[in-house]
Amino acid sequence: MRPSTLLLACASSVLGASWIAPGAVWYDTKGAKIEAHGGGVVKRGDTFYWIGHASSNQTPMLYTSTDLINWAPQGAQASSVTGMWRPKIAKPNGSFWLFGQQDRYVLSLKSSNQIGGYGQSAKVYIPPNSYSYSDTGMFYDDSTQTYYLLTSADHNIVQVNRINSDGTLGDKVSDLRAGAYEAPGIVKADGVYFLIVSGKTGWRSNPNKVFWSNSINGPWAGGSDIAPQAQNTYNSQNTFELTVAGSQKTTYIYMGDSWDSKGGASSNYVWAPMNINAGAHTVTIDYHTMWKVDPNTGVVSYPTTLKRYEAEHAVLSGRTVVKDCSNCLTKRSVHGVRDASEVTFHNVTGTGSRQWLSFHYKVNSPEAGEAHIYVNDEPAVNISSLNSLAGYHTSTPVQLNLRAGDVNTITFGATGGEGFEVAVDGIELFEEDE
Ligand SMILES: *[C@@H]1O[C@H](CO)[C@@H](O)[C@H](O)[C@H]1NC(C)=O
Ligand SMILES: *[C@@H]1O[C@H](CO)[C@@H](O)[C@H](O)[C@H]1NC(C)=O
Ligand SMILES: *[C@@H]1O[C@H](CO)[C@@H](O)[C@H](O)[C@H]1NC(C)=O
């Protein structure tokens, strides 16, 4: 396999992923798909802790990282707890706490450690009016060192409740009564509080909105879009906002879930920096196909493209046909990709390890068919769950294991009914290291 000299020379970079790719499949450091849906992130010391629920049984799952890219799985956190949606970490005082929703109650779990050993502390309706709720959010206000539980309660009321210093759920401090909203998160920038919420459209994405206030006590005003409406929040739903206060820059990160049609295991994550203009009271997602933030400086960077392979220069089979494409780099792409009509790229350069590639393809209807990638002689990689990205952006990042050198053969194929149209523009390779 990989020569040991290469492994030793580049150990830190070869083994880890280099970028955050919104909407792509995200693997943990053991190679499994990350299962932390409806989650949130906190930082303690140099370590980030990402809690979220498992798609299969909604038990809280924890991952740790120092770079926000490579996440080590820490496993299930509360062995007997299932059906706990959208868990979030809080630490009011002494113990460590997780808050989430179970059976439309607020379930709080407590442990004496950050990692593992959580057990039920309380299961209560939200005071003062016994609202049942869904969609737990969490916000820590460092100016008062107070945690706030955010919920979307009955009657479409998004409610902000203090978490008391003993870990119990405290008074409501404000609420948003502006329509049917859920999935709340708060970020504070330049003294202004921004409350980000999604509409209520089940597992389907919608244009998420931002409201603002000069105080956690409200009132909340606004309701502007955080992304162009047609993007449906880049096919995601808000779950948490993370602030990385670096030595050079403070970067605010939108964390969303890109749910599959059932909120199941093929759901992905959309994380992206946000542009916040506190004076104008606007928050917008600064979407990039791949990016990262230096957790020490707070500075965001993007990968350089190393190489592109154009589909019209690849080997085409069956009924594929080269056509004009106004927004393609070379103004041409390959249409008619379907059964036995494929695009095969030869001599693609690999690193000998897992690496990022971006597939530039476009589908007319993400759920009308499937897209598959064949690398060398390996079984098909099913990228159909990423078709929604191809429906929006034409740039779909995928991590693949390629052999070292200019020796890889990659075939792009699609299956679907006559109405499923797939056009392939090309493949892009990115720098993996700094
Ligand atoms: C922290 O919790 C302990 C008991 O759990 C309590 O005695 C103490 O007063 C709390 N401290 C604060 C600042 O609330
Ligand atoms: C791939 O590389 C080999 C060896 O360099 C060359 O002979 C071959 O023509 C290349 N294939 C394509 C499709 O470019
Ligand atoms: C490919 O993935 C899609 C979306 O996750 C799924 O519905 C489909 O069953 C998969 N196809 C195969 C052949 O596994």
CB of 370 shorter than 6 A to ligand 3? yes
Q: Tell me the CA–centroid distance for residue 382 and ligand 3, in Å.
A: 6
Whole-number average pLDDT of the chain? 92
Query: Which two three-digit tokens encode residue 294?
Result: 């230096």
* Phi, psi at 9, each rounded to 5°: -65, -35
Q: Tell me the CA–centroid distance for residue 131 and ligand 3, in Å.
A: 39
The residue type of 96 is F
Residue 97 near residue 167 (C-beta atoms within 8 A): yes
Percent of the chain clearing pLDDT 90 (strictly above):
81
CB of 165 shorter than 6 A to ligand 1? yes
Q: Whose CA is nearest to atom 10 of ligand 3?
A: 382
Instruction: Report the candidate in 378, 389, 310, 308 with the shortest Cα–Cα distance to residue 344.
Output: 310
Q: Ligand 1, residue 95: give the atom nearest the CA.
A: 5
pLDDT of amino acid 419: 86
Q: Tell me the CA–centroid distance for residue 401 and ligand 3, in Å.
A: 20
pLDDT of amino acid 9: 33
Mutate to test the pocket of ligand 3, among 267, 382, 385, 386 (most ligand atoms within 8 A of CB): 382
Q: Ligand 3, residue 266: give the atom nearest the CA.
A: 5
Question: Tokens 């062995």 appear where?
Answer: 79
Mutate to test the pocket of ligand 2, among 343, 346, 411 (most ligand atoms within 8 A of CB): 346
What is the distance between the alpha carbons of residues 388 and 393, in angstroms, rounded to a whole number? 9
Q: Ligand 2, residue 406: give the atom nearest the CA.
A: 2
> Which of 67-81, 214-228, 246-260, 382-396 comes out lowest in average pLDDT?
382-396
CB of 349 shorter than 6 A to ligand 3? no
pLDDT of amino acid 128: 64
Percent of the chain clearing pLDDT 70 (strictly above):
94
Which ligand has an atom closest to residue 408 CA? 2
Which ligand has an atom closest to residue 167 CA? 1
CB of 266 shorter than 6 A to ligand 3? yes
State the number of CA atoms in the 13 A half-sphere of 149 facing the CB: 38
Sequence-distant (6+) residues with CB within 8 A of 209 are: 181, 196, 197, 198, 199, 222, 223, 224, 225, 226
Residue 129 near residue 174 (C-beta atoms within 8 A): no
CB of 382 shorter than 6 A to ligand 3? yes
Query: Which two three-digit tokens encode residue 131?
Result: 């609202």
pLDDT of amino acid 127: 67
Q: Tell me the CA–centroid distance for residue 118 and ligand 3, in Å.
A: 35
Average pLDDT over residues 191-205: 96
pLDDT of amino acid 22: 94
Is the pLDDT confidence value at 114 over 50? yes
For the entire predicted model, the pTM comes to 0.90
What is the distance between the alpha carbons of residues 330 and 311, in angstroms, rounded to a whole number? 10
pLDDT of amino acid 433: 59
Q: Which residue has the higher pLDDT, 393 or 221?
A: 221
Give pLDDT tens digits for 348-374.
999 998 899 999 999 998 889 999 999
pLDDT of amino acid 5: 31
Q: Tell me the CA–centroid distance for residue 96 and ligand 1, in Å.
A: 13
Give pLDDT tens digits for 123-161.
998 866 777 777 999 999 999 999 999 998 777 899 999
How long a stretch of residues is the chain? 434
pLDDT of amino acid 153: 73
Is the pLDDT confidence value at 30 over 70? yes
Average pLDDT over residues 224-233: 95
Average pLDDT over residues 23-52: 96
Spell out which residues line ligand 2, taking CB within 6 angstroms.
346-347
Give pLDDT tens digits for 153-190.
777 899 999 999 999 999 999 999 999 999 999 999 99
Task: Extract the runs of DSSP E, i.e. beta strands, from 343-421.
Answer: 343-350, 354-363, 369-375, 381-382, 396-401, 405-416
The residue type of 398 is V
Average pLDDT over residues 77-103: 95
Q: How confident is the model at residue 6 (pLDDT cuts 50, 70, 90)?
A: very low
Which ligand has an atom closest to residue 347 CA? 2
Residue 165 near residue 172 (C-beta atoms within 8 A): no
Sequence-distant (6+) residues with CB within 8 A of 18 are: 69, 292, 303, 356, 430, 431, 432, 433, 434
pLDDT of amino acid 352: 92
CA angle 94, 95, 96 (to 5 degrees): 130
Q: Tell me the CA–centroid distance for residue 409 and ligand 3, in Å.
A: 22
Is the pLDDT confidence value at 382 over 60? yes
Say if residue 266 is exposed, middle or buried (CB neighbours under 10 Å; 0-12, 13-18, 19+): middle
What is the distance between the alpha carbons of residues 14 and 395, in angstroms, rounded to a whole number? 24
Which residue ranges form the domains of the chain, and what is each CATH number? 37-301 (2.115.10.20), 305-430 (2.60.120.260)
pLDDT of amino acid 142: 94
Residue 323 near residue 410 (C-beta atoms within 8 A): no
pLDDT of amino acid 7: 33
Helices (H) and strands (E) in the chain, counts: 4, 33
Q: Are strands 396-401 and 292-293 parallel, antiparallel or unpaired?
A: unpaired
Q: Tell me the CA–centroid distance for residue 347 and ligand 2, in Å.
A: 6
Sequence-distant (6+) residues with CB within 8 A of 8 are: none
**Could you give the C-alpha distances from 23 to 15, 189, 206, 381, 425, in angstroms and in order?**
22, 26, 15, 16, 19
Please name the helix (run of DSSP H) or strand (run of DSSP E) that holds residue 8, with its range, or none: helix 4-9
3-state secondary structure of 261: coil
Task: Extract the runs of DSSP E, i.e. beta strands, from 32-180.
Answer: 37-44, 47-53, 60-65, 72-76, 85-90, 96-102, 105-111, 119-124, 133-141, 146-153, 158-163, 169-176
Is the pLDDT confidence value at 3 over 50? no
pLDDT of amino acid 8: 31
Is the pLDDT confidence value at 16 over 70? no
Is the pLDDT confidence value at 104 over 70? yes
Q: Whose CA is nearest to atom 2 of ligand 3?
A: 384
Average pLDDT over residues 37-55: 97
What is the distance between the alpha carbons of residues 26 and 42, in angstroms, rounded to a whole number? 19
Residue 39 near residue 87 (C-beta atoms within 8 A): yes
